Copies of this chain bind each other. A is one copy, B any other.
């Protein structure tokens, strides 16, 4: 079969022949229909940041994808040929303390599809059956690869209820855009999006942001305060990973408010722990991944019922053979994209 893979260490990737996946007894073989590029695929493609130390080559990458079950291993239940599935990228062991205490997404033996082993940027992929989410039909086929990243935003946003609360979303990449949509569907008001790219600001409005603040304005904190009230925001969703945005999050959240830490900053951060965490009496939630499968149910319902529409976030769709364009779109400095999807 053909897949987008890295043949060895170094920047770039190749679309070409790779070994056919051979699913184990507890795995499914999936014919991939759509995949999407996650921000964390970029270090792999670019071969920088954490990738050289973790990503094994040769290897197919990609961990946001959906497709059709082609074969179900003998130890699987509940799946049959033809089922349309989206994929949970966190391969959890199912046996450790976290897995058996409702926290599979932080499993002690966590592996990530397409990072720690072969992924979904290919015609076919094998995945543990326990990581497959079966759709009842193909209604969500076009957004099937988005359920994984959307799940991040659902979990990040709804880790505490937001109805009637003011919400600030830091960063309007796909995750921030999704978070805006989820917050809006869940009754949050006002929703303040902090984003510098005019292209993404426009998308933020479309997804339901009430107020847009440009972080480079030099007065972002005041503009946010103007929108949410001088006491500060009830909720801040840090979806950017930008160190300045994380610092700003702790400043603009109100005393007794909540910060969700989703974005991944490079290196360490300087935090005013006393003033910004202790005295303010805030709650900080680190979020990596999604609750398996609580978040999936909520995500699917939000999509199916039309409570949220994530299609505007898909700004680019490429054929697999044009994958170089897809990665170039993601890498462009002007950030003129939302989610970039690849069709197989």
Give the shortest distance, in Å, between A97 (CB) and chain B (any CB): 6
Task: Please pick, from B163, B231, B246, B284, the residue contacting A96 in the complex, using a CB distance under 8 A.
Answer: B231
CB distance from A288 to the nearest CB of B (A): 5
B161 contacts A161, C-beta separation under 8 Å: yes
Q: Which of A64-72, A294-302, A328-336 lies on the face that meets chain B?
A: A294-302
Complexed CA–CA distance, A264 and B276 (Å): 11
Instruction: Knowing A75-B75, A281-B105, A283-B285 are in contact, say whether A189-B301 is a contact too (CB < 8 A).
Output: yes
Q: Is the CB of B287 within 8 A of A278?
A: yes
A274 part of interface (Cβ distance < 8 Å)? yes
Determine which of B97, B285, B302 lies in contact with A297 in the assembled complex, contact meaning CB atoms within 8 Å: B97
A158 neighbours in B (Cβ, 8 Å): 161, 163
Determine whether A305 belongs to the interface, using a CB cutoff of 8 Å to chain B: yes
> CB of A186 within 8 A of chain B?
yes
Give the shortest distance, in Å, between A191 (CB) and chain B (any CB): 10
Q: How many residues of A contact B (CB 8 A)?
A: 70
Q: Is A37 an interface residue (CB 8 A)?
A: no
A293 within 8 A of B: yes
B273 touches A270 (CB 8 A): no
Contact residue among B164, B284, B305 (Cβ-Cβ distance under 8 Å from A283): B284
Q: What B residues does A262 contact at CB under 8 A?
A: 278
Instruction: Pick the residue among B77, B96, B241 that contacts A95 (CB under 8 A).
Output: B77
User: Cα distance A255–B77 when bound, in Å?
Assistant: 23
Residue in B108, B231, B273, B282 whose beta carbon sits within 8 Å of that of A231 in the complex: B108
A302–B75 contact, CB under 8 A? no
Q: Does A269 contact B (CB under 8 A)?
A: yes
Chain multiplicity (copies):
4
Chain B residue numbers with a CB within 8 Å of A190 are 305
A280 proximity list for chain B (CB < 8 A) = 106, 286, 288
User: A43 within 8 Å of B by Cβ?
Assistant: no
A203 to chain B minimum Cβ distance, whole angstroms, is 21
User: Contacts A269-B273, A302-B187 known; A288 to B281 CB distance under 8 Å?
Assistant: yes
Given the known inter-chain contacts A100-B297, A186-B163, please indicate yes or no for A261 contacting B278, CB distance below 8 A.
yes
CB neighbours (8 Å) of A277 from chain B are 261, 284, 286
Residues of A within 8 A of B (CB): 25-26, 75, 77-78, 94-98, 100-103, 105-106, 108, 158, 161, 163-165, 185-187, 189-190, 231, 241, 246, 254-256, 261-266, 268-274, 277-289, 292-294, 296-299, 301-302, 305, 307
Given contacts A108-B231, A187-B307, A270-B271, 20 further A-B pairs with CB under 8 A are A102-B294, A103-B281, A105-B281, A106-B281, A163-B186, A186-B186, A186-B187, A189-B301, A189-B305, A241-B274, A264-B274, A268-B272, A269-B271, A271-B271, A277-B286, A280-B286, A280-B288, A281-B289, A282-B286, A284-B284
